[in-house]
Amino acid sequence: MEGEENKQVHKGIKKGLYVIPTAFTAANVGMGFLAVIYSIRGFQIVASNPEGASGYFNYAAVAIGLAILFDTLDGRVARMTKTATEIGVQFDSLADVLTFGIAPIALIFSWGIASIYPEHSSPYALGVFLLFMYLMCGAFRLARFNLQSTRPRVLAEGTPKIDKKNFVGLPIPPAAGLMASIVHFAPMPLSYYGEGTGKFYASLIMILIACLGVLMVSTLRYSSMKTVGSGRRNLYLVLVIAAIGMLMWLYSNYVLLILSVGYVSHGIVWYVVSHLRSRPAKVDAEA
């Protein structure tokens, strides 16, 4: 009887573990929801009270940053507790579309595009189009990731397979994180800087949005960071995480921007370096 009771207790604990990754995903959704609400609220007062609007924009950027943390934790917890499920994978992807697709679009639109360009102008229409294409590229990136993660027996010819160490294409959370870190670094709406300077910054933001969309649907390799902390040097990792955490607390606007730029750009650097390394080998083979 005692053995059966112990088995039931362990079975109940096992079932309870499945709730933990889902709770982190739900927190991810909550942060995306708050980011959208704060972006809308900031846009409502951007003309009359730009300082107050900057506070809401900063809250939205921080909410997206917290969502990245929750999105990272739900996958790690699921792997650690061996509670990964198919519905969890789909739920996580739907959450990512909201938090890292729609939420950053609402933030950049309210903070940058709509605050500086007239509604019926050509730059305004171009900005809206680029934001839409960012969302489409992000959704396509998530769909491709889900397809590759299931490892079907037959993949379309030319479709690259992924491994645990690398992602194919820029993941959508770092793309959203870069946009959020820019707003966190300078939360004042672009209209605050004057027409000429504000439109110049808005043009740079639109170029960045286009580049992020292209990177998401590209085949560049990005480190997944899934194997970080699984080796024998966990002590050093703890020290690094502690140092980065303290720097974030003291200089979050600088540190988050540097980290996000570093991750987004490392795939490009990785590709260029590997391409340059392979070229001399081909030249030697031909010689």
Radius of gyration of the chain (CA): 22
Tokens of 197: 């300077």
222 backbone dihedrals φ, ψ, rounded to 5°: -125, 135
- Checking if the pLDDT of 159 tops 80, the result is no
Q: How confident is the model at residue 65 (pLDDT cuts 50, 70, 90)?
A: very high
Show the beta-strand stretches assigned E in 140-232. 166-168, 221-223
Mean pLDDT calculated for residue range 109-134: 94
Pull the structure tokens for residue 84. 């990964």
Given a cut of 50, is residue 206 above it in pLDDT? Answer: yes
pLDDT value at 271 more than 70: yes
Write down the pLDDT at residue 18.
65
